[in-house]
């Protein structure tokens, strides 16, 4: 077994290595070797840019590194490079993603398949550098395909797949690959790293649909879009998102056939005969699965449904999995002040509304904000609440913060049926 640290020694073909999430992402980028990497470092994704810079300095990447003065500039440079026909990647986190906000919309609206690794971290204030999905959930309507990783292995695999997904002719949209800050970015796991040539063959060469540098096919970017055309252009983004569902599954299946690890929009765990289930995304899903196994051993028919693709939102597949259950808990690692629940809870309740006569009751459990520890006892308590809800208990609150000290807002104690 090889331990890949800051020395970054050359690895043989398809070997088990111990990598942090940041280093796994950096190696995936090294293997794909995009043309341009514009970046500005920010915790907890700083190591990705540092590693890419070292790979380039050591001759292991031909990529052009652009060190800019801010995250806004990084995404602006990414848009410029991608508009010129380059394959582009970068990384950021938290306030860095927030600083990119306006340019995220430009990247998507311009149909530029930029790949962005996001080390999920809480947004200030107060200042907090730990795991939280607030920043990526805040950007969920920016028109980016968004994949959430459960493990370091999945972060590595998803970066490789992201280029194929975003660059597909029927999609042409940017892709965000999320991995929980510190819990994945800085945690080392034993993963399989594929052969460089095999990765490059899987991703293939990049051919931009349009490039500013092709005089035979002139194209303009950044033009004013009047009311007579704007809506139609927005619908073109939506069409790409709709088609991305199938592309994500096709690319995940092809990746599995070649490398042995299969991916799709969802990851259903022991859901076939489940009576109650937790819906979750991100690194905490691994712990949820362990508790599911324990409760199954005690005779409880419980399951877990992990959402891998938050955008495009896999509404149909989620509904198919949840209808027929007796109770469901959606676990969000973010929240929306003043809203009727956290983001994924809102999405899933909306998806089930059409089936409200037969849909299970759905509760929202907001956990892990700012890196707050999620204990096994917390997960067991959520499943206990689901059992009570399935049995007809009416005092189970609809929305609750897991591990909160003090009393929650009074309205969050009310049970609001679908």
Contact 284, 374 (CB under 8 A): yes
Residues 338 and 216 reside in one and the same domain: no
- Residues 319-352: tens digit of each pLDDT: 999 999 999 999 999 999 989 999 999 999 999 9
Rounded to 10 degrees, the C-alpha dihedral 300/301/307/313 comes to: -140
One-letter-per-residue 3-state SS of 136-172: HHHCCCCCCEEEECCCHHHHHHHHHHHHHHHHCCCCC
Q: For residue 11, is pLDDT > 50?
A: no
Q: How far apart (Å, rounded) are the C-alpha atoms in residues 284 and 151? A: 9
Pair 175, 285 in one domain? no
Distance CA 393, CA 327 (A): 11
Distance between CA atoms of 359 and 39, rounded to whole angstroms? Answer: 45
| Co-location of 242 and 298 in the same domain | no
- Asked whether residue 289 is domain-assigned, the answer is yes
Query: Do residues 192 and 61 touch, judged by C-beta distance below 8 A?
Result: no
**Tens-place pLDDT, residues 184-243:** 999 999 999 999 999 999 999 999 988 998 889 998 888 899 999 999 999 999 999 999
Q: What is the pLDDT of residues 81-126, one digit of tens each?
A: 999 999 999 999 999 999 999 999 999 999 999 999 999 999 999 9
Q: How many domains does the chain have?
A: 2
418 in any annotated domain: no
pTM, whole model, 2 decimals? 0.94
> Is there a single domain that holds both residue 27 and residue 78?
yes
Using alpha carbons, select from 141, 178, 134, 173 the residue that is nearest to residue 159: 178
Q: Per the domain annotation, does 156 fall within a domain?
A: yes
**Can you give the residue range of the structural domain that contains 127?**
2-259
| Same domain membership, residue 201 and residue 105 | yes
Residues 194 and 273 in one domain: no
Residue that finishes a domain, picked among 202, 236, 259: 259
Do 288 and 226 lie in one domain? The reply is: no
Bridge partners (DSSP) listed for residue 363: 329
Task: Taking residues 296-307, report their average pLDDT.
Answer: 98
CA distance 395 to 385: 10
Which of 259, 278, 294 is the last residue before a domain boundary? Answer: 259
Peptide bond connecting 44 to the previous residue in cis, omega within 30 degrees of 0: yes
Query: Which of 259, 285, 301 is a domain's end point?
Result: 259
33 and 118 inside one domain:
yes
57 contacts 50 by C-beta, under 8 angstroms: no
Whether residue 388 is contained in a domain is answered as yes
Q: Is residue 28 part of a domain?
A: yes
Asked whether residue 354 is assigned to any structural domain, the reply reads yes
Question: Shortest CA distance to 347 belongs to which of 146, 165, 115, 179?
Answer: 146
Q: Any idea what the CATH number is for the domain that residue 70 is in?
A: 3.40.50.970
Domain co-membership, 287 together with 236: no
Examine the domain organization and report whether 149 and 279 are in the same domain. Answer: no
pLDDT at residue 3 in the model: 45
Nearest Cα to Cα of residue 166 among 90, 225, 115, 104 = 115
At 7, the pLDDT band (50, 70, 90 cuts) reads: very low
Structure confidence by residue, pLDDT tens digits, 127-136: 999 999 999 9
* Biggest CA-to-CA distance, the chain: 69
Which pLDDT does position 418 carry in this prediction?
A: 54
69 in a structural domain: yes
Looking at the structure, tell me whether residues 176 and 112 fall in a common domain: yes
Q: How many CB atoms lie within 10 A of CB 305?
A: 26
Within a 10 A sphere around the Cβ of 213, how many other Cβ atoms?
Answer: 11
Is residue 396 in a domain? yes
Residue 6 · residue 19 · CB < 8 Å: no
Rounded Cα distance, 241 and 255, in Å: 20
**Whether residues 205 and 289 fall in one domain:** no
CATH code assigned at 343: 3.40.50.920
For tokens 């990247």, the residue is: 107
């Amino acid at each position: 077994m090889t331990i890949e640290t800051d020395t970054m020694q050359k690895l043989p073909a398809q070997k088990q290595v111990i990598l942090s999430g940041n280093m796994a992402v950096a190696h995936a980028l090294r293997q794909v070797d995009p043309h341009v990497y514009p970046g500005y470092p920010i915790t907890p994704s700083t190591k990705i840019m540092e590693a890419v810079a070292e790979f380039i300095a050591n001759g292991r990447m031909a990529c052009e590194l652009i060190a800019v003065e801010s995250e806004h500039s990084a995404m602006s440079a990414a848009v410029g490079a991608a508009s010129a026909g380059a394959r582009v990647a970068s990384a950021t986190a938290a306030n860095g993603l927030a600083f990119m906000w306006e340019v995220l919309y430009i990247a998507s609206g311009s149909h530029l398949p930029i790949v962005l690794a996001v080390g999920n971290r809480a947004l200030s204030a107060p200042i907090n550098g730990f795991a939280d999905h607030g920043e990526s959930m805040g950007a969920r309507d920016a028109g980016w395909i968004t994949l959430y990783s459960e493990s370091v292995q999945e972060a590595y695999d998803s970066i490789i797949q992201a280029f194929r997904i975003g660059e597909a002719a029927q999609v042409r949209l940017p892709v965000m690959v999320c991995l929980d800050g510190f819990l994945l970015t800085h945690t080392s796991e034993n993963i399989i790293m594929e052969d460089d040539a095999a990765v490059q063959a899987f991703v293939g060469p990049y051919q931009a649909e349009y490039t500013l540098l092709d005089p035979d096919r002139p194209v303009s970017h950044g033009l004013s879009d009047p009311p007579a055309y704007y809506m139609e252009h927005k619908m073109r983004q939506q069409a790409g998102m709709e088609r991305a569902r199938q592309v994500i599954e096709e690319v995940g299946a092809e990746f599995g056939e070649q490398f042995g690890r299969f991916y799709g929009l969802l990851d259903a765990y022991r859901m076939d005969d489940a009576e109650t289930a937790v819906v979750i995304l991100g690194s905490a899903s691994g712990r949820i699965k362990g508790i599911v196994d324990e409760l199954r051993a005690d005779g409880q028919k419980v399951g877990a449904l992990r959402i891998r693709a938050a955008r495009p939102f896999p509404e149909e597949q989620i509904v198919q999995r949840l209808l027929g259950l007796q109770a469901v808990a959606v676990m969000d690692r973010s929240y929306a002040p003043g809203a009727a629940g956290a983001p994924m809870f809102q999405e899933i309740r909306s998806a089930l509304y059409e089936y409200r006569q037969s849909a299970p009751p759905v509760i929202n459990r907001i956990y892990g904000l700012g890196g707050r520890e999620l204990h096994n006892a917390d997960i067991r308590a959520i499943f206990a609440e689901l059992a009570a809800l399935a049995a007809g208990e009416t005092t189970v609150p609809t929305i609750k913060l897991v591990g909160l000290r003090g009393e929650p807002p009074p309205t969050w104690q009310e049970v609001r049926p679908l």
